[in-house]
Amino acid sequence: MEGQSIEIHDYSAGKYFRRLEAFLGSEGIEQRLASIELELHTEQGMYLREWVYPRLAWWLGFRDARGIMARGGSFRRAVQPLMELPLMTAAELSLLHSSMPEWKSREFASRLLTDDILDPTLFEIHCAAHFASRGYKIQWFESQSKGGRRTPEFIAKKGEIEVEVECKAKKADAGRRMERASFYRTVDQLIPVLRDMELAGRVYITVPARLSTSIQWRDGLARTLRKHISLGSGATVMTGGEHINWSLQPANGSVVSIRELTSQVIAEKGPYAHVAIFGAKVDDHVKDPVTFRLESAKKDAFLDSVLDSLRDAEAQFTGGRTAIIFCFLPEIASFEGLQFDSAVNKMTDLFFDKYARKCINAVCYVSEAKREVGEGVVQAYFPAVTFRNPNYDSHYGENIPVYG
């Protein structure tokens, strides 16, 4: 249940990176990298490691590739994992070049240079390249149509087949009450409290609804911990209804295996919680580990957010051709088992039964590319699953082959 990316040999990486440089423009690239360097030098702690670096991974990989080109070096056996994502984008843009009008090239370049989250742009490029690599010609729709009429991303044409495609990319925090950036900011605020008091163990915090993004709230939480926590187990409630529970012991240099910590986290982590473990790593152990778990008392609404995206996509089709919705769902290692009697399956069935017109042939969910290592070959596969609309009207044409 997967889709294959374009196969790229490492010795041709330089060609693709140079094309990416020309596509984006050196001046714009330098400005973007300067702002990235400033952010990397300004931020710190878990927020930097777990939020900033992953969010900037595409640009950091391109930065490293530009370093090799600046030195006149070879990419043979030198393409590192961080470079693979921008390399894949460069190859996909190269494949799409002949079909891409100037206004679309400018749009993609602007989005890559300025957007804080690149997933929607990268996903649209990937979906178009997916069809182009299978012999389809791509016809792009302008983003701002005259008269405010909404349109899909593009039409893929091959022979008598014409399919309208709309791409939606969900952020990892979509519908979540615990947003990652706020979570890591909060953890960074709490780590010094336990470190100063020379304590190790567990601190579990439950908020009534959404995790606050307020600096003042985080300061108040840290003050509450300093005032109330102590050795052993205990609990307190903040004025806003936040419940804090802890189980702590002296930080005396004891080590706990990473496997044991992971098992404990898995056993105790609720579906609406985020967990962070802090401590010095010693081989496969952690010295004086502190586990922070933050969760909401209310359910997340991630699938509600996905359904909203499907309904939004549905409204963008003309109704005159067969249509497919591609939806990027982050952090799915495999869709195996989700195609039958799962929450995703049931939500998609609801969409088909209640909201989808008969022109919609399928919804295809895709997640992040997974590496596939080969000798001198850069390749990736994409976990994916496709659900067919049972109400699809076959007069629009036969089922369109898509991965999954």
- Secondary structure (DSSP) of 200-213: EEEEEEEESSSPP-
Pairwise CA distance, residues 149 & 158, whole Å? 26
What pLDDT, on a 0 to 100 scale, did the predictor assign at position 359?
A: 97
What pLDDT, on a 0 to 100 scale, did the predictor assign at position 69?
A: 96
- Secondary structure (DSSP) of 212-249: P--HHHHHHHHHHHHHH--SEEEEEE-TTS-EEEEEEE
Centroid of chain to Cα 168: 12
Longest Cα separation, the chain? 73
Q: What is the pLDDT along the chain (404 residues), one digit of tens a residue?
A: 455 556 788 889 999 999 999 999 999 999 999 999 999 999 999 999 999 999 999 999 999 999 999 999 999 989 998 999 999 999 999 999 999 999 999 999 999 999 999 999 999 999 999 999 999 999 998 765 455 667 899 999 999 999 999 999 988 788 888 899 999 999 999 999 999 999 999 999 999 999 999 999 999 999 999 999 999 999 999 999 999 999 999 999 999 999 998 888 888 777 778 999 999 989 899 999 999 999 999 988 888 999 999 999 999 999 999 999 999 988 776 677 666 768 899 999 999 999 999 999 999 999 877 665 555 555 666 788 899 999 999 999 999 888 65
What pLDDT, on a 0 to 100 scale, did the predictor assign at position 102?
A: 95
With beta carbons less than 8 A apart as the criterion, state whether 187 and 48 touch: no
Cα-trace Rg, the chain? 24
Closest CA to 387 of 362, 367, 370, 351: 362
Question: Which residue matches tokens 């997640």?
Answer: 367
Pairwise CA distance, residues 45 & 382, whole Å? 31
Q: Which tokens sit at 147? A: 């008269």
Closest CA to 84 of 379, 384, 381: 379
Q: Give strand pairing partners of 296.
A: 207
- Is pTM beyond 0.95 here? no
Pairwise CA distance, residues 223 & 88, whole Å? 47
Single-letter amino acid, residue 395: H
Helix (H) or strand (E) holding 267: helix 258-268
**All structural domains of the chain with their residue ranges:** 2-171+315-396, 180-296
Q: Angle formed by the axes of helices 102-114 and 119-132, to 10°?
A: 140
What pLDDT, on a 0 to 100 scale, did the predictor assign at position 352?
A: 97
Q: Which tokens sit at 213? A: 């993004």
3 state SS of 161: strand
Centroid of chain to Cα 367: 8
3 state SS of 402: coil
- Helix, strand counts (H, E) of the chain: 13, 15
Pairwise CA distance, residues 292 & 225, whole Å? 12
Q: Angle formed by the axes of helices 81-96 and 119-132, to 10°?
A: 50
Pairwise CA distance, residues 338 & 132, whole Å? 28
Single-letter amino acid, residue 151: T
Ramachandran region of residue 232, left (φ > 0), alpha (ψ -120 to 50) or beta? left
With beta carbons less than 8 A apart as the criterion, state whether 155 and 321 touch: yes
Q: Phi and psi of 79, rounded to 5°?
A: -80, 105
Count of Cβ atoms closer than 10 Å to residue 318 Cβ? 14
Please tell me what DSSP assigns to residue 56.
T
Count of Cβ atoms closer than 10 Å to residue 251 Cβ? 18
What pLDDT, on a 0 to 100 scale, did the predictor assign at position 1?
A: 43
